[in-house]
Amino acid sequence: MNIDLYQVDAFASKPFEGNPAAVCPLEVWLDDALLQAIATENNLSETAFFVSTETGYHLRWFTPSVEVDLCGHATLAAAWVIFNVLGDSSEILQFQTRSGPLLVKREDDELAMDFPAKTLEPLAMHTEVAAAFGGIEIEEMLISDDIVVVINDVSLIESLAPDMQQLKQLPGRGVVVTAKGDDVDFVSRWFGPKVGVEEDPVTGSAHTSLAPYWARRLGKQTLTARQGGARKGTLSCILEGERVIIKGRVAPYLKGAITLPESN
């Protein structure tokens, strides 16, 4: 049994930037254990699998250890494959996912994802979270799917080196540290050892919380963002009511095939 595999860099203008994702188009759904095994073998922060439906595509995302409810960069990657490799001529793709319907639209050389905005609530765990990051000074801390840690000093973002074992003890899916940017509106880094991803270079889904936060704080609906440490990617975010439009480019990197015995 052969399964096509495409590896592309999402939120990137060229290879080796942004966030790499694997994309596997399927004719029918395979056993969940096999999907997880493929994602584990790929060892990227996400592998996206999709199956064509009458109204669009059914899309699922797997980290090396678990299936997740929402993933931005692998959605961007899957849409790029559907548009540019499979030749879908639609202007808008509709994905059915564990988080409900998601839309991706062509916009010149970018793809725009329409995601639900997330509401943040205050979280009173400053001591524990600060300790996991070596005692950083926290300005504000909130939580939705992820813990959002706001700091004042943007220069600290680059040097963050958290204790992954301590992060595993915290609530939520992962921890994102963010600050007001210099040449962009805000910057961030995202860490998720609980879901098998110590650091995700560019996390589209985290911006469903970050964009509404910074939109309120900066008083603007359209924002530019950069995420990452050694490897970085760029996004633009537009707040439209209860939705966040997240836009980015995709750079192709690899095309191949997974070869498995028929017994699998």
CATH number at residue 56: 3.10.310.10
- The residue behind tokens 């319907």 is 101
Which ranges of 133-243 does DSSP label H, i.e. alpha helix? 164-168, 207-218
Query: Checking DSSP bridges between strand 92-97 and strand 100-107, what pairing results, if any?
Result: antiparallel
How does the average pLDDT of the chain come out, rounded? 96
pLDDT, tens digit, 9 for 90 and up, residues 167-189: 999 999 999 999 999 999 999 99
C-alpha–C-alpha distance, residues 69 and 132, integer Å: 25
Q: In this structure, are 66 and 138 located in the same domain?
A: no
**Position 105: which residue type?**
K
Q: In this structure, are 125 and 233 located in the same domain?
A: yes
The verdict on residue 151 lying in a domain is yes
Q: In this structure, are 79 and 47 located in the same domain?
A: yes
The verdict on residue 144 lying in a domain is yes
Give the predicted TM-score (pTM) of the model: 0.91
Binned at pLDDT 50, 70 and 90, residue 262 comes out as confident
Q: How much is the pLDDT for 263?
A: 63
Beta strands in the chain (DSSP E): 2-10, 19-26, 47-52, 57-62, 67-68, 92-97, 100-107, 110-116, 121-122, 140-143, 147-150, 175-180, 186-192, 197-200, 222-228, 232-240, 243-248, 250-259
Q: In this structure, are 102 and 8 located in the same domain?
A: yes
The verdict on residue 216 lying in a domain is yes
Q: Looking at residues 63-90, what average pLDDT do you find? A: 96
Of 17, 46, 54, 139, which is the active-site residue? 46
Q: Confirm whether 240 is a catalytic residue.
A: no
The verdict on residue 187 lying in a domain is yes
Q: How much is the pLDDT for 249?
A: 97
- The residue behind tokens 């639900």 is 116
Q: What residues contact residue 89 under an 8 Å CB cut-off, 6+ apart? A: none
The verdict on residue 264 lying in a domain is no
Contact status, residue 210 vs residue 148, Cβ threshold 8 Å: yes
Host domain of residue 95? 2-115+248-259
Q: How much is the pLDDT for 261?
A: 87
pLDDT, tens digit, 9 for 90 and up, residues 2-46: 999 999 999 999 999 999 999 999 999 999 999 999 999 999 999
Q: What percent of the chain has pLDDT over 70?
A: 99
**Number of structural domains in the chain:** 2
Which of 16, 75, 86, 7 is CA-nearest to residue 43?
A: 7
